[in-house]
Amino acid sequence: MKKHRHNPIVQITDQRIEEYSLRMTTVESERIKELVASSRSELDYIDMLSGNLVGQILKMLIRVSGAKRILEVGTFTGYSAVMMAEALPEDGEIITIEMNILYQELAERHFKMFDVENKITLMKGNAQELIKDIEGFFGLIFLDADKVSYSFYYEQALKKLESGGLLVVDNVLWNGTVLEPSDHKAEALGQFNGLVQQDKRVEQVLLPVRDGLTVIRKI
Ligand SMILES: C[S@@+](CC[C@H](N)C(=O)[O-])C[C@H]1O[C@@H](n2cnc3c(N)ncnc32)[C@H](O)[C@@H]1O
């Protein structure tokens, strides 16, 4: 029998509005639906997967900005990486970092299965160590890994973003608990949001979509 996590991510918006928004949003491709089904059949829980609202925002940002080189921190089973690959031109590339061996194997299998392995490179290991040595600049960076390290990743990401490049950061509202932090993750995310808000090097919008998504543009 499948296990359920004690504290799964819940929507911060009204559930009916969330469902309506999903119904009115471009539908996931067949391969993305298959990837979700495959993830569900392999794992006890898949609530870390960012979902169609975040996925479609990423795709839209890639198409509108023309970003060709993308860095993702936090692959999980490859959902957002494959979504982003769908919006990339033929010569585009994604580097995605994952430290969990089980997720690495599953993501790798999905990249092969869904024919995007030529566009996606999976870096295996701790992003906190690996990110510093990644060379070149990126048009878009998607930050979706260990929440307490967001401020560290933020500085690294700013160094690696092209001027005008986008940093998209997931879970910035942490179930709304950033308003009154009662654990170290909520506290770290609250500090991160404040850091971005004060930073003159960027402009940003915090979207109350799903668990909170901030889109940051490097000036
Ligand atoms: C929220 S999930 C990513 C979801 C994925 N972006 C998606 O939309 O399907 C976060 C992932 O980051 C990975 N992770 C957490 N800390 C990490 C670190 N320091 N280095 C690399 N991966 C990390 C976790 O193992 C997990 O798979």
Is any atom of ligand 1 closer than 6 Å to the C-beta of 97?
yes
At which residue do the structure tokens 């048009």 appear?
Answer: 139
Is any atom of ligand 1 closer than 6 Å to the C-beta of 145?
yes
Q: Is the pLDDT of residue 1 over 50?
A: no
Amino acid 56: pLDDT:
98
Report how far ligand 1's centroid is from the alpha carbon of 104 (Å): 10
CB 50 within 8 A of CB 142: no
Amino acid 13: pLDDT:
84
**Which homologous superfamily does the CATH classification assign to the domain defined by 15-218?**
Vaccinia Virus protein VP39 (3.40.50.150)
Tell me whether strands 161-170 and 213-218 are parallel, antiparallel or unpaired: antiparallel
The DSSP H or E segment spanning 169 is strand 161-170
Amino acid 155: pLDDT:
98
Residue-wise pLDDT tens digits, 72-82: 999 999 999 99
Is any atom of ligand 1 closer than 6 Å to the C-beta of 84?
no
Residue 140's DSSP bridge partners are 70, 166
What percent of the chain is helix, strand and coil (3-state, nearest 5)?
45, 20, 35
Residue-wise pLDDT tens digits, 37-94: 999 999 999 999 999 999 999 999 999 999 999 999 999 999 999 999 999 999 999 9
Structural domain boundaries of the chain? 15-218
List helix spans (H) across the chain: 15-23, 30-42, 52-65, 79-87, 101-113, 127-130, 150-160, 184-198
Gap between the Cα atoms of 157 and 151, Å rounded:
10
Gap between the Cα atoms of 205 and 153, Å rounded:
18
Residue 133 identity (one-letter amino acid): D
Residue-wise pLDDT tens digits, 101-118: 999 999 999 999 999 999
- Say how many residues make up the chain: 219
Amino acid 6: pLDDT:
45
* Ligand 1 pocket mutation, candidates 5, 38, 46, 48, criterion most atoms within 8 A of CB: 48
Gap between the Cα atoms of 53 and 69, Å rounded:
22
Residue-wise pLDDT tens digits, 187-197: 999 999 999 99
Residue 216's alpha-carbon distances to 36, 96, 143, in angstroms, are 28, 19, 11
**Per the structure block, which two tokens stand in for 44?**
């006890």
Gap between the Cα atoms of 40 and 54, Å rounded:
19
ipTM above 0.95, yes or no: yes
Amino acid 8: pLDDT:
52
Q: Is the pLDDT of residue 9 over 80?
A: no
Proportion of the chain above pLDDT 90, given as a percent: 93
Amino acid 124: pLDDT:
98
